[in-house]
Amino acid sequence: LLLLLGATLLRPGSGSYQHPFYNGFYYNHVMNDKGDGHENAVYFSVAKLMVETPKDPVYSSSGANITLPCHYHYEPEQESKSKIRIKWSKLRDDYTKEQDVLVAIGKTQVAFGDFKGRASLRRNGRREASLVVSDLRLQDGGKYRCEVIDGLEDESNVVELRLQGVVFPYQPRRGQYQLNFAEAERACREQGAVVASFSQLLQAWREGLDWCSAGWLADGTVHYPIRQPRAHCGGLHLAPGIRSYGERHRHLHRFDVFCFSSALRGEIFYLERPAGMTLAEGRQACSDAGAEVARVGQLYSAWKFLGLDRCDAGWLADGSVRYPIAKPRANCGSGEPGVRSFGFPTAGHFGVYCYKER
């Protein structure tokens, strides 16, 4: 039997299968579809598909157009014998199912969801699979996966898009720790912002944010940033950093929220009267000027990106009264730059901050 098996493996001939010497290809036996028991040889290239994206984040701002670079090649070099399929997806902050962005096969491209009409594939160079996104929105920030599929080969890599912006803590009129996760999302949205990610909060902490109230982040976790350790904010014995409550129940648990806003497309200006205005009068004054009462996120963006500096308290759209200080000085709050808050006055007369789209 052994001799017969050896003779079968070594016997040449047109109707037999012959093992080739190693020539840079894998091979495998599969039965053919004739049902006669004979085997066909299927060959697979050992050339490895490589997908490359930038290691450093790509930075941009709200309203801008951006290209997320992605290129692919083979090692060793070879030409593809099949149509390449390219898929872009956005990784969610809470690690649930990825969000489909775009799929392309040949010259056919299809964008999905919020990316319809805004996302397309750039193929200026050979073996390029870069993603172009226009009119960036606040929720576009995050990590994106570039996946290239060539037959049985499927490789991917990740690139991060970071929007330049500002993180601000927010609590509603009802007071501290009143928001479940859905309410926190809505609160940020109403202020022209989105719920901040952990990386955005970390960057804000590095830039000096110190806040002793815990708030939701986009992945459903709860944190707060401390620059100056103190007894009632985690204890004096802890080093400065981001304090964490971990993941919380999105419906049952209630906290504040950290919101993220990016650069403005319009302008913010201040209106005043000698006797001040109520909030209703402020709304009318902004409307008469072809504008609307500014939201909290818009005021923070103007302070951060436009250097808005005004030591005058004014109404905002949520009923709060605030003012932005870029250059700290006497009688204008604490010694640090920031947006000062008078809370939510039930009565009183102030100026108003208006926002007008360009």
pLDDT value at 350 more than 90: yes
Stretch among 2-11, 102-111, 235-244, 258-267 having the lowest mean pLDDT: 2-11
Task: State whether 267 and 311 are in the same domain.
Answer: yes
pLDDT value at 32 more than 70: no
Of 250, 82, 251, nearest to 153 (Cα)?
Answer: 82
29 three-class SS? strand
Task: State whether 223 and 308 are in the same domain.
Answer: no
Please compute the mean of the pLDDT values over residues 340-355 and round it to a whole number.
96
Cα dist. 210→169, 220, 296 in Å? 10, 21, 18
Query: CA 72, CA 309: separation in Å to the nearest integer?
Result: 48
206 three-class SS? helix
Task: State whether 238 and 270 are in the same domain.
Answer: no
Within 8 A by CB and 6+ apart from 112, the residues are 99, 100, 101, 102, 103
Please compute the mean of the pLDDT values over residues 304-315 and round it to a whole number.
96
The residue among 209, 232, 261 that closes a domain is 261
What confidence score (pLDDT) does residue 38 get? Answer: 54
Within 8 A by CB and 6+ apart from 163, the residues are 59, 60, 61, 62, 136, 138, 140, 141, 260, 262
Give the predicted TM-score (pTM) of the model: 0.79
Q: Alpha helices of 191-231 — where are they, by DSSP H?
A: 198-206
pLDDT in tens, 161-187: 999 999 999 999 999 999 999 999 999
pLDDT in tens, 116-169: 999 999 988 789 999 999 999 999 999 999 999 998 889 999 999 999 999 999
What confidence score (pLDDT) does residue 1 get? Answer: 34
In a domain, 36, yes or no: no
Beta-bridge partner residues of 155: 148
What confidence score (pLDDT) does residue 23 get? Answer: 33
Task: State whether 216 and 256 are in the same domain.
Answer: yes
The residue among 246, 261, 276 that closes a domain is 261
The residue among 206, 228, 261 that closes a domain is 261
What confidence score (pLDDT) does residue 247 get? Answer: 95
pLDDT in tens, 95-104: 667 899 999 9
Cα dist. 343→173, 176, 319, 333, 358 in Å? 8, 12, 9, 14, 29
Task: State whether 118 and 199 are in the same domain.
Answer: no
Structure tokens at 316: 């905002």
| Averaged pLDDT score across all residues of the chain | 87
Please compute the mean of the pLDDT values over residues 270-296 and round it to a whole number.
98
What confidence score (pLDDT) does residue 36 get? Answer: 53
In a domain, 131, yes or no: yes
Task: State whether 59 and 149 are in the same domain.
Answer: yes
In a domain, 66, yes or no: yes
Stretch among 72-76, 290-294, 339-343 having the lowest mean pLDDT: 72-76
In a domain, 26, yes or no: no
Cα dist. 20→9, 136, 250 in Å? 11, 54, 61
Task: State whether 82 and 138 are in the same domain.
Answer: yes
Could you tell me the CATH number of the domain that includes residue 199?
3.10.100.10
Residue with tokens 């997320």: 68
pLDDT value at 289 more than 90: yes
- Number of structural domains found in the chain: 3
Structure tokens at 306: 């436009």
Task: State whether 190 and 156 are in the same domain.
Answer: no
In a domain, 7, yes or no: no
Query: CA 256, CA 184: separation in Å to the nearest integer?
Result: 7
**Domain interval for residue 292:** 263-357
Structure tokens at 269: 């200006």
In a domain, 37, yes or no: no
